[in-house]
Amino acid sequence: MAMSRLSALWRGTGPAAATAINATPSSVAASRPPTTVPHVTSAPAEAIETGQALPTGVEPILKPATDTISPPSTPAASFSVDPAPEIEPWSPARPSSSTAEKGKKNGRVSRSQPSYEVDELGRRKNYPTHVPLNAGQNALLAVGSGLWGVMNYATRPDLIATLSETTSSSFLSTLHEHMSMTPEGRQILRDRPTLSSKTVNLDYLRGLRRGTLGREYVEWLDRDGITPDSREVVRYIDSPSLAYTMLRYRQTHDLYHTLFCLPPTLVHELSLKVVEWANMRLPAAALSSTFGPLRLSAKRRRMWAQDWVPWALRQGEMGRTLNAVYWEKRWEQGIGELRRELGVERMNDHKVESRWRGYRVLREMERDLRRKGEWIDEPEEW
């Protein structure tokens, strides 16, 4: 009787199986028909799996079910259990938006480590070249670079760069704000272009006509053996946005030389620092233009203060913010037209020109090109 119930259960589901399970021994005996049970031959399960037809009187042997059994008319459904959410180690820094979005897409609780580097002392680096400093270290570095850099202005540009970074944090915020006030400056802050030999096609600039900004810029570089890669990277400014503002100022410095037609001599470098101070209010420019002239003789220092300082202050105060000019979009523009657009002009005093040989050579070269008709721009004051 027990075997009968088990056989009914084994053969399938339905009313017969339910009756076999719930029946008692007496009820099973009473319900058993008086006829003789015919002999049934069992077929192996392999015959069913291969789809072979079974002869009459042969009943299949079913294997025990290991998966969920669905009705024959419905395909078997597959079920999977999602693993528990992985919780990564907690970090005090807020994860970036890309990390958070990735966690949402994966259905995970994401508290991933932030994507920044640390230096050998375990201090957080906000950008690849960043060197974190505390207030005491910053002050010490500013004093040291100021004392040595200003007195060795021509031979230690790295110290001047350090001085500008360690003394300009609050002033850079103002410069950054001024850049964001113009459409051109805002586009620079969005695009963050850089000037280097990898980003500027110098051969293309050499193919432009004389008098264009791009051609005069590359002529200035080639004449003095300078490359766009000669400027120092930014290290000691914590904010990545302000670090880029400083980098932009540093990389476009040679374009200021081109704009004002100033050779890279000490006198004209100091004059350009006065322009930068009046235009952008950077402390390093003020310190350089204050202590740098000590390297000149007393006579030349008086001549410089008389000839160049008033002109430089006037250009810096009257002109547009130079750091907010998208120079890369103006390579083909005439340099004289660009000066008029920015509200600046070169030194046009012939007496001053006659006293400073380096500047006089550049002006005479331009006049010669104008006479030959090789200068693209319309004449300015000769």
Instruction: Provide the annotated binding site for Zn(2+).
Output: 253-254, 257, 269
Q: What are residue 118's DSSP bridge partners?
A: 124
Specify whether the CB–CB gap between 350 and 208 falls below 8 A.
no
- State the CB neighbour count (10 A cutoff) for residue 15: 7
The C-alpha angle with vertex 211 and arms to 205 and 217, in degrees rounded to 5, equals: 45
Q: Long-range contacts of range 80-89, CB-CB < 8 Å, 24 or more positions apart?
A: 82/107, 85/109, 87/111, 88/112, 88/113, 89/113
Q: What are phi and psi of 62, to 5 degrees?
A: -95, 140
Q: Rounded CA gap, 122 and 252, in Å?
A: 33
Q: Long-range contacts of range 136-141, CB-CB < 8 Å, 24 or more positions apart?
A: 138/166, 138/236, 139/166, 141/166, 141/236
Q: Which single residue is written with the structure tokens 């990277």? A: 233
- State the CB neighbour count (10 A cutoff) for residue 279: 24
Instruction: Provide the annotated binding site.
Output: 253-254, 257, 269
Q: What are residue 212's DSSP bridge partners?
A: 334
Q: Rounded CA gap, 214 and 216, in Å?
A: 6
